[in-house]
Structure 1
């Protein structure tokens, strides 16, 4: 459901007792964590228990499994996830009581009030870029607050209440949330059509990023990856408005360039060149060109904030990733299993390029779960084309999330567009049959990659278990799980 942003946005310390409907989600749990650190009374509910709820309970939150009207009888403000339905009993009761209702965007803005906000936006790469910038700043001696749509491997957390004045925030455009924030500076990784269930047209989606420029402090700056056509157009608009704009990328149009890219296994190396001046070489511990561009944007922002290249480089090189972004789940029977959040055709292509580097001489076996009926309807063919970079593909049915199923919009339509021979592509509508389908295709030396924004993330551990059982039967060795 869409909760309107109230005309008056209050700082967090004036919201009273705050209840989160959907507190286990990546966005809401991070905001709750920051509020708890500030001594605000927090409660919340989610459809099922999770390690996120356990962590929030340990910090002092009252977390319920399941939704019920009585959960909101002693609260002042409700923060509501977009995945929540209009008939949710807590929302219905809150409206009956006349309680304050906030969308995620307004709640995040409330905790960012009074801080120097650096907002990271873009169609792809927001979580990784926000994470890279956060870790780089930490290695410079700063202690920024942060709110990220994924968990940092270094801290195991998606949010933190820092002691400094900087607040690094992932600025999501999916529901227009980024148009609520007022950042001192911003990064835009790329601008490609997505979330057309909300925006309707590609033109409207691009127009939202143009409006985002109005939210940036005129005395601040914008970092943009000019290798991307949509972001390059945004850079031109930004410069025309007189906003300090830093272009990054490999192209000659970039102010801060990555030169001499090389990829070896799980590492990516490049030389950073700032307006013709060679700053030095950076070796990332994450593979893929798209991650190099994310790191370059984080580096540009850190430099513009006044931090030294050598300190920022140490942070970038220390970064080991975020959960669900090319995350190694483990190894069994000579097969490594990775998991990633990629659900848009270009994200799929980027992660498959990284997987190919990681696999070396082995094959890449992919399990893909399309996310959202609306996205699959629009991009299903392109998803299938992108999956053609794998060696073996198992396509699951659509994870419908907040939408309802639609006849004919399913995983089969994606599988039908994968440009591989029929025996190398399989549509498996039964979730429980997917782990066996993947394990059965994997051979020693191969890399299995599960892709998608839904519950496909749970498939990897089951694949590892099946591979281990096979290894036990053949005496091939023991599994290792991360």
Structure 2
């Protein structure tokens, strides 16, 4: 389905305050389209849109659609939303964010980053390499890059770096030249219904790899291994710790302020090694993310020196193991980890680097459905921590029943992760607890996708 958008169109975004929606609105505004949008409350994304003079309505009302000719909706929008109902009545064309994004980037050379975890960091690392190579790409990311204080940027070149969200299947709608699949995990099963169905979608994604492009996949991931066995299009390269990888990670080293690794390249026409690649990040998951970016950059012809410079000078992404402050010798960090795999990956990296410190994880579960579906996986993900401070569930507009006592969930974590656990009721009780215990050789990490980031900063 092709759409032709004249400059006289007025494109209305419902849920414009989301990180993905605000990023797309910024890019379209930069391309000269007239955009506006609505959401239920102010946030930093909306502040960034207002700086660009994009009109924002802080409510959902059918009157907001006056003069609008096209509607873009986020996946969070319910069918009874008054603006969506009105748009259907007016017979306006309605597109999901993924569809609109696909149309906007269809004329660019796209590198799409997808997978269950690590997409935002990987897209950001890639953009740092492109910055060092002076390629000035358009960037559409799922997190705010510290290097330019935004989640999206319109570049002058024909390259576009896109974090593509697999949560609603829309990643299949975005055309790509090159792509990275970081991993495949039991996430967003409320949409996919089963892990098998999720894997089929990733298989369809790999099948789309064009003959003059390439997909880069992490061979260490067991679900990816199963997917590529059943995929007919073999136009991909592998990366990872496995010796069978086309881009093999070796000689890893992890310190408090950085990680280092070598990358052995074994592809037709190239047998070489890039040595001592440094990234200002910790954790094996981030070493793999950086390796995928180095692999893509190498294939498109960026030289070794520029690749290393781009990765070494990476400025980070907001909410990805960000250092907040130090108080009475204790260190405080903020992280977006909200899935069992993400939690255990972050904690493994922290344990490897901060060997002498007591690790306290302040965990705010995100979504009732996620806790319900993955309670056993969550209960085993805190093994590298010493203590878990368990916050109430951040519901994220879900009104379903958990189906078991929250107290039982707490006991399951204690049993399966073998840690101490303190259950708190709200932000005030966290403040009191930290005032009493926040000192000495400890590291506190706030984890979750809800309000926990603000709680940590408010400390």
TM-score, structure 2 length as denominator? Answer: 0.94
Q: Distance in 1 between matches of 2:144 and 2:175?
A: 24
Instruction: Go from structure 1 to structure 2 and tell me whether the alpha carbon gap of 1:212 and 1:423 turns closer, same or farther (over 3 Å shift).
Output: closer
Superposed CA offset, 1:371-415 (max 9, x none): 222221121121121123211111122222242231435754442
What is the aligned partner in structure 2 of residue 17 from structure 1? Answer: 10
Instruction: Go from structure 1 to structure 2 and tell me whether the alpha carbon gap of 1:305 and 1:335 turns closer, same or farther (over 3 Å shift).
Output: same
Q: Counterparts of 1:149-298 in structure 2 under 5 Å?
A: 149-238=142-231, 240-243=232-235, 245-275=236-266, 277-298=272-293
Which stretch of the first structure deviates more once superposed, 432-441 or 77-86? 432-441
Does the CA contact (< 8 Å) of 2:117 and 2:342 recur in 1?
A: yes
What is the aligned partner in structure 2 of residue 433 from structure 1? Answer: 429
Does the CA contact (< 8 Å) of 1:369 and 1:411 recur in 2?
A: no
Q: Distance in 2 between matches of 1:357 and 1:137?
A: 30
Does the CA contact (< 8 Å) of 2:357 and 2:441 recur in 1?
A: yes
Q: Counterparts of 1:37-116 in structure 2 under 5 Å?
A: 37-116=30-109
Instruction: Go from structure 1 to structure 2 and tell me whether the alpha carbon gap of 1:411 and 1:48 turns closer, same or farther (over 3 Å shift).
Output: farther
Asked whether 1:355 is paired with 2:347, we answer no
What is the aligned partner in structure 2 of residue 457 from structure 1? Answer: 453
Instruction: Go from structure 1 to structure 2 and tell me whether the alpha carbon gap of 1:161 and 1:216 turns closer, same or farther (over 3 Å shift).
Output: same
Which stretch of the first structure deviates more once superposed, 92-101 or 292-301? 92-101
Q: Distance in 2 between matches of 1:15 and 1:438?
A: 55
Cα RMSD between the aligned structures?
Answer: 2.0
Which stretch of the first structure deviates more once superposed, 204-213 or 412-421? 412-421
Q: Distance in 2 between matches of 1:160 and 1:215?
A: 26
Q: Distance in 2 between matches of 1:172 and 1:187?
A: 12
Q: Counterparts of 1:390-469 in structure 2 under 5 Å?
A: 390-409=385-404, 411-419=406-414, 424-463=420-459
1:354 CA displacement: 2.4
Q: Distance in 1 between matches of 2:118 and 2:219?
A: 14
Does the CA contact (< 8 Å) of 1:122 and 1:191 recur in 2?
A: yes
Q: Distance in 2 between matches of 1:277 and 1:265?
A: 29
Q: 1:314 aligns with which of 292, 309, 313?
A: 309
Q: Distance in 1 between matches of 2:321 and 2:409?
A: 22
Q: Distance in 2 between matches of 1:364 and 1:429?
A: 21
Does the CA contact (< 8 Å) of 2:106 and 2:175 recur in 1?
A: no
Instruction: Go from structure 1 to structure 2 and tell me whether the alpha carbon gap of 1:96 and 1:433 turns closer, same or farther (over 3 Å shift).
Output: farther
Asked whether 1:142 is paired with 2:138, we answer no
Structure 1 unaligned residues grouped into runs of 5+: 1-7, 464-482
Q: Distance in 2 between matches of 1:63 and 1:343?
A: 29
Secondary structure of 1:49's partner?
A: coil
Q: Distance in 1 between matches of 2:67 and 2:89?
A: 14
Does the CA contact (< 8 Å) of 2:70 and 2:92 recur in 1?
A: yes
1:15 CA displacement: 8.5
Secondary structure of 1:461's partner?
A: helix
Structure 2 unaligned residues grouped into runs of 5+: none
How many residues end up aligned between the 2 structures? 454
1:441 CA displacement: 3.5
